[in-house]
Structures are given as C-alpha cells and as structure tokens.
Amino acid sequence: MKKKTYLHVFVLLWSLSAITGCKNQTSSPAELLIGEWIRDDHSEDFHFKFIFDENQSGQKITFVRDADRNAISSLQTFTWDAGDDELQFDYDGKKESTGFSITDDGKLYLKELSKLPFSKQTASQGGEKR
C-alpha cells in the first residue's frame, strides 16, 4: 500500500513541475520583433517605422511632411536576423547592424539607429494585424 501512495505522490509532483515549468517559457528576441513598430514621436507630419515579418523580411518606412505640406516618403525592403541583443539588416547587399533591446513595457530601442524608442502597433492603432 505504501508503494502505491509513494507512486501517486511522485506522479503528482512530477505533473505539477511539468505544468508550472512550461508557464515560464519566453519568446526569443526574433519572435518578439515580429510586427509593426513606429517611433514614439510619430505625428501627422512624421512617421518612422519598421515592419518585421515572420520570414525575416521587412520594410523600413519614413514619411515627412515639410512646411509647405509636401510629403516625402521612402520605403526600403530588407532581410533581418536577430541575436540576443544585436539586429542585422541587409538592404539588398548593404549591411547594417545595431544593438537592440525590448523593455518590459514593450518599447523597442535600436541603439545605433534612433535615440527614441519604437512601440509595437496593433490593428486598433492602425498597424497591420499579425
């Protein structure tokens, strides 16, 4: 009878540790980047955004409206790869890298590209639904 009780206790403890251990899994840096990020100082007259797709392709989009209300915009496509704290871009052979971090409150910092952070957009904020 004691053997059965010990077996039940062991199975119960093992099951609990397996279940609670799975809850602490975190996403990789690359998984966290996927989506549309817009710099926090965006306005009706200025946008600077990155879109990171799941297939490691993406777009860099800038938009500026000058004092005469003329719009100037650019779109650059790239492929990307992310390590733990470094992000590499390849713009059709022109390579660029930057340190990056994503804070607990969801801000993306691209150290060599911008002093201001980027925020991930959701469909309700005008971002693409991903």
> Is residue 60 within 8 Å of 79, Cβ to Cβ?
no
Q: Residue 60: which of 70, 73, 71, 72 has the closest Cα?
A: 73
How far apart are alpha carbons 12 and 56 in whole angstroms?
42
Taking the CB of residue 23, how many other CB atoms lie within 10 A of it?
6
For residue 63, is it left (φ>0), alpha (ψ between -120 and 50) or beta?
Answer: beta
- pLDDT tens for each residue of 93-129: 999 999 999 999 999 999 999 999 999 998 655 554 4
pTM: 0.73
Among 35, 56, 41, CA closest to 106 = 35
Q: What is the pLDDT of residues 65-99, one digit of tens each?
A: 999 999 999 999 999 999 989 999 999 999 999 99
pLDDT of residue 96: 96
Q: Where are the alpha helices (DSSP H) in 23-61?
A: 29-33
CATH top-level class for 29-123? mainly beta
In order of 2, 10, 14, the CA distances from 21 in angstroms are 28, 16, 10
